[in-house]
Structure formats: C-alpha cells, structure tokens
Amino acid sequence: IHIGVAGPATLKSLLSYARLCGIGASARLLRRQGANLAKLGMVSAPDRLIAGLARYRAEDQKCGVAQVHFFTFGGLRRSAVWLDAVRRGEIDWRADRNGFTARVEL
C-alpha cells in the first residue's frame, strides 16, 4: 500500500487544488473549516498523520503500508524543507506523543 499525503500547505492552497480538481464536497467542507480568515494563511503540516502511520506500521509490520508519498500542494520547496528536517530528526514531539513539529520555518 502506498499512501499519498498532502505536504505542508495552507488551507487556501488546498482549496485552490480542490476547486481545480472538481472536488466540490471536500472544498465546501474546507471552506466551512476555513471560516476564520486567519487560518487561510497558516501552514499546516502532516505531522500528526505521519506519526500515527509510523506508529501503526511499527506495531503491525504486516499492515501492508510500503511507503508514503507527498503531494506538494504547498510548494515543492516547502515540502522538501519539511521532509529534510524530519529526516534529520529536527522535530519536537508533542506532549501526548501523538505528533510532532518540525523545527523549520515554512
């Protein structure tokens, strides 16, 4: 199983891609979530999702997850910088260990 994940991106860029791809229901949901205009410009990274997938794969090595690939909706450079920081271990785990934050400026 190969899992596709959106790399670091703003809600605004995700809405743009949803509109281009004709994903109406998802775009409407994102618009409702993005009612707070301040959130439109904030960059969100898939830290919690990646941490959860890694934990799941470590606990069940027969789960079938072979790899994760990233969609660079927020830009290739932003995704590469984030991935490189994660690869180098430049992360801070959340107190509940259910995710992390990469120590990079996105």
Residue type for position 52: G
When pLDDT is averaged across residues 89-100 and rounded to a whole number, the result is 84
Q: How many CB atoms lie within 10 A of CB 72?
A: 16
What angle, 0 to 180 degrees and rounded to 10, lies between the N-to-C axes of helices 11-21 and 24-33? 160
* 70: nearest Cα among 6, 12, 15: 6
Bigger pLDDT: 96 vs 45: 45
Q: How far apart are CA 56 and CA 5, in angstroms?
A: 16
71 DSSP β-pair partners: 6
How does pLDDT run across 5-17, given as a tens digit for each residue?
999 998 888 878 8
Among 2-6, 17-21, 36-40, 95-99, the range scoring the smallest mean pLDDT is 36-40
How does pLDDT run across 38-48, given as a tens digit for each residue?
566 678 888 88
CB crowding 26-45: b at 16 or more within 10 Å, else e: ebeebeeebeeeeebeebbb
How does pLDDT run across 51-72, given as a tens digit for each residue?
899 899 999 989 999 999 999 9
User: What confidence category does residue 30 fall into, taking pLDDT thresholds of 50, 70 and 90?
Assistant: low
